[in-house]
Amino acid sequence: MVFSSITFIFYFLPIVLAIYYMVPKKMQNLILLVASLLFYFYGEPKYVILMVFEIIVAYLFGRLIDKKHKKIFLIIPIAIIVGLLVYFKYIDFLIQNVNVIFEKDIDLVKVILPIGISFYTFQIISYIVDVYRGEVKVQKNILNLATYVALFPQLIAGPIVRYKTIDAQLDNRKHSIENVSIGIRRFVIGLGKKVLIANVLGELVNVFLASNERSVLFYWLYAFANMMQIYFDFSGYSDMAIGLVKMFGFEFPENFNYPYISSSITEFWRRWHISLGTWFRDYIYIPLGGNRVSKIKHLRNILIVWLLTGLWHGAAWNFIIWGLYFGILLILEKEFILKKVDKIPKIIRILATFFIVMISFIIFSGESKIEIFENIKGLFGIGGISLTSLESIYYLKSYAVVLIISLIGATPLMKNVFKDKKVSNFLEPVFILFVLIISTSYIIDGSFNPFLYFRF
Amino acid sequence: MEKTKNVIIIIEFVFVLIVMLVANIVKLDDAVSVTERRKLAQFPAFTKNSVFSGKFASDFDKYAVDQFVRRDSFKEIKYWFSMNIFNQKDSNKMFVKDGSIYKLEYPLNENAVKKSAEKLQTVQEKYLKNANVYYSIIPDKTYYLDDNYLKMDYEKIEEIMAEKLQDTKYIDIKNILTKDDFYNTDLHWKQENIIKVVNILNTNMGIVSQTNYEEKIAGEFYGTYYGQVGAKVNADTIKYLTNSNIENAITYNYETNQYSKVYDLEKFETSSDKYDIYLSGATPLITIENQNANTDKELLIFRDSFGSSIAPLLLENYKKVTLIDLRYMNGQLLESYIEFSNQDVLMLYSGTVLNQNILK
């Protein structure tokens, strides 16, 4: 089930909210767990067993680590859980590459990727590792652990919440009018970001991909719309997740912090998909030695982390290249660029970063090497293509307002408008109702509504 | 103040969710959407198989959208928002201009046009080697808009067709039509406006004819475009042109094995698509016999739905007109039904159909 659907907003959510607030406090986690399992079961009826199995593994080995602090109790569950991730997500990609490299003809397994497996795998690993490290107490109530892993707001598209973040909240959290109200606002804003901006820009991206009449202007429209679609989709989903858990009294950390105003790639990754970045930092980069090792090893660590970051986004070469592209850029920044760019005006640095990120998302979205090269070359007019075409001008006019709104929305400008209490007290309730109704109308009209995380 | 705001936000959110939930549960499900002219998804079967295969979930999602309370009003809101706030030029490729609904038929799919042309070429080579074959292309409505709108490149379509359909004569009707010759709520042309097209076709096919018709009104008409756009547009009126030849003509439908009249007034009353008044609507093969004809000439028309309304006006100078819709029947099967002699042949297709590769 996706958040931006009628089933979720007008059937699942009101029923779950009503039951949750009607039952006694001690039953609320159980309600959340049952709702979460139903939520997952609805979209992935068969794979719910897989998730439950992984939860049991995490629970049992957590208890074992608690009793006997042995490394083997850390290694076994991680091997099982990572093994399952590799099998379900990467096995066919591995076979394809083995077939190409060694000229073999091994049949593909053609296994279907369980939705959200990359997210809950990382959450389970964080739990086991944190228990092993002694950073959190073991969870003795399996229902609480299952609620943490399966919690439906973050189950299929993140953010990746570390166990220690919500450990205490599982037993004791604050339900208040203010929290519910903030949660609603966050959810509706996220819904609007997804349905009204990301999906609409997704239409433009699709029009471009289907077009035979590409001009330089059209390549730029595509590149811009594509990066905005990805941002508004990802961050919209995170907003909805953060808003939903807030309605149930939880506090999740922020996952995006206006990444497109970054003035360096290093800063961009501090602002983009923060929960993924911190996960890789805490569970891969630092255990590998981080930067407290020789320079060569440090560079190796950076490249490993970014290779894995790329792979995490999907089992395909473009994601690996996308990850390494950032890895190399981050090394260049750390070693050379950041020391020298101080004198360059900030706006230039922001624009340069924006451009580099825009190129990265062309790689991210590319279905093939040829397509990626074509779409990058096109930006520079290489290949004798015309500057504009009737088609690109038509779509520029048709999407100009959405593109401008997306640009403004990617900056903290709107947040500042609502900072003025007088303005926000009056405007916000109207705005929220408006966005909810308009988003609903877009969903009902059957407009383009993709789920971008099916490869994660 | 902050607290009041919080309470208002919660109340409005909960109100919308609960009201919609209750309304959706209480509302009786509709079987069809009259405006969209399609069956609406019904509550899916709840079985072990459907649940575990995920079919129940995907069907329920469709059901929830299709049966949503005040669905048409939400579609109107969406259309209004995308056109007026987002200032988009179309919404799901549809837009209203000067009270008329248009659908972007862009871009041209050259490959599809080639395939369509090849299908016609195959028919021509197989059956029509010695016949007088003419062809014509009907532009879609957007062709008549100014250059701020995207439209198919009809010159390119003509080029592809000319390349494939050699030894045939092209009759250009593009420039005699205007956007007013099409319905406001539908893709088709108005029969009462296409006498000029008939004249051009007749002239090119070597027929001298001056026929008088009586214009009759069948009634109000909301076309296929109407349900696809969330905007209110005035209804069209279906009119039909008739005279004694048409009144006395008999049609025979090979699919239903039924004899009927050229204008099916009963279908006009009962069908969801009022355009079915012309020759009773879409069908693979139908003939019209002109009982009053003083000639033995016959005409074969390879056509799409536009042909239904123009065929009666071409009847005057033929004893029999046969309409073949290659969207619904394979060209290879024609010899089982039609005896090819030296009939006149007209291939009359809309650009929209040629651009889809749907000819069999």
Q: Where are the domains of chain B?
A: 2-101, 107-354
* Any A CB within 8 A of B71 CB: yes
Task: Reply yes or no on whether A313 is catalytic.
Answer: yes
Q: Which residues of B touch A442 (CB under 8 A)?
A: 78, 81
The pLDDT of residue A98 is 92
pLDDT tens digits for range A364-379: 999 888 999 999 999 9
Report the gap between the CA of A356 and the closest CA in chain B (Å): 28
Grouping H, G, I as helix, E, B as strand and the rest as coil, residue B251 is strand
Residue A153 has pLDDT above 80, yes or no: yes
Interface of B with A in 244-283 (CB under 8 A): none
Q: Considering chain A, what is the average pLDDT of its residues?
A: 92
Look at residue B351 in the predicted model and tell me its pLDDT: 96
Note whether B319 and B290 are within 8 A (CB): yes
Return the closest-CA partner of residue A4 out of A440, A433, A454: A440
Q: Between A and B, how many residue pairs show a Cβ–Cβ distance under 8 A?
A: 141
Chain A from 395 to 434: CB within 8 A of any B CB: 397-402, 421, 424-425, 428-429, 432-433
pLDDT recorded at residue A291 = 86
**In the predicted model, is pLDDT for residue A423 greater than 90?**
no
Q: What is the pLDDT of residues A272-307, one digit of tens each?
A: 999 999 999 999 999 999 888 998 999 999 999 999
**What is the rounded average pLDDT of the residues A323-332?**
94
Q: What are phi and psi of A269, to 5 degrees?
A: -75, -10
Which of B69, B11, B20 shows the shortest CA–CA distance to A12? B20
Cα B46 to Cα B60: distance, rounded to the nearest angstrom:
10
The pLDDT of residue A454 is: 63
Chain B nearest-CA distance from A233, in A, is 18
pLDDT value at A456 more than 90: no
SS3 B44: coil
Indicate yes or no: CB of B107 within 8 angstroms of CB of A211. Answer: yes
Q: A259-277 pLDDT, tens per residue?
A: 999 999 999 999 999 999 9
The pLDDT, as a whole number, for residue A452 is 67
Higher-pLDDT residue of A456, A298: A298
Token pair in block for residue A404:
């401008």
Given this model, what pLDDT does residue A341 score? 80
Q: Which of B1, B3, B5 to mutate to test the interface with A (most CBs of A within 10 A)?
A: B5
Is the CB of residue B310 less than 8 Å from the CB of residue B198? yes
The minimal CB distance from A394 to the residues B52, B81, B150 is found for: B150
DSSP string, A6-58: HHIIIIIHHHHHHHHHHS-GGGHHHHHHHHHHHHHHHH-TTTHHHHHHHHHHH
Distance from CA of A248 to the nearest CA of B (A): 13
pLDDT of residue A53 exceeding 90: yes
Single-letter residue type at B351: G
Question: How many whole angstroms separate alpha carbon B154 and alpha carbon B106?
Answer: 11
- Residue A167 structure tokens: 């450990």
**Token pair for residue A16?**
């779950």
Q: Which residues, 6 or more positions from B106, have their beta carbon under 8 angstroms from its beta carbon? A: A391, B142, B150, B151, B152
Q: B107 vs A212: CB contact, 8 Å cut-off?
A: yes
Bridge partners (DSSP) of residue B285 are: B324
Which residue matches tokens 């804003």?
Answer: A189
Paired with A58 in beta bridges are none
> What pLDDT was estimated at residue A453?
62
For B132-174, the DSSP string reads: EEEEEEEPPGGGGS-TTS----HHHHHHHHHHHSTTSEE---G
Which residue is closest to B88 within chain A, CA to CA? Answer: A398
CA dist B97 → A348, B35, B76, B142, B189 (Å): 43, 19, 16, 10, 17
Query: Does residue A100 sit in helix, strand or coil?
Result: helix
In this structure, are strands B344-350 and B132-138 parallel, antiparallel, or unpaired? parallel
* pLDDT for the residue B232: 87
SS (H, E, C) B81-142: HHHHHCCCCCECCEEEECCEEEECCCCCCHHHHHHHHHHHHHHHHHHCCCCEEEEEEECCHH
Q: So what's the ipTM on this one?
A: 0.90
- Could A441 and B12 be called an inter-chain contact, meaning their C-beta atoms sit closer than 8 Å? no
Is the per-residue pLDDT at A449 higher than 80? Answer: no
Distance between CA atoms of B240 and B278, rounded to whole angstroms? 8
Answer whether A398 sits within 8 Å of B17, measured CB to CB: no
For chain B, list residues with pLDDT below 50: none
> Is B230 within 8 Å of chain A by CB?
yes
Assigned token pair, B323? 């309409």
| CA gap A245, A260 in Å, rounded | 26
Q: Is B7 on the interface with A (CB under 8 A)?
A: yes
Q: Nearest Cβ partner of A445 from B21, B51, B78?
A: B78
**Residue B218: HSE in the Cβ half-sphere, 13 Å Cα cutoff:** 27
Q: How far apart are CA B300 and CA B128, in angstroms?
A: 10
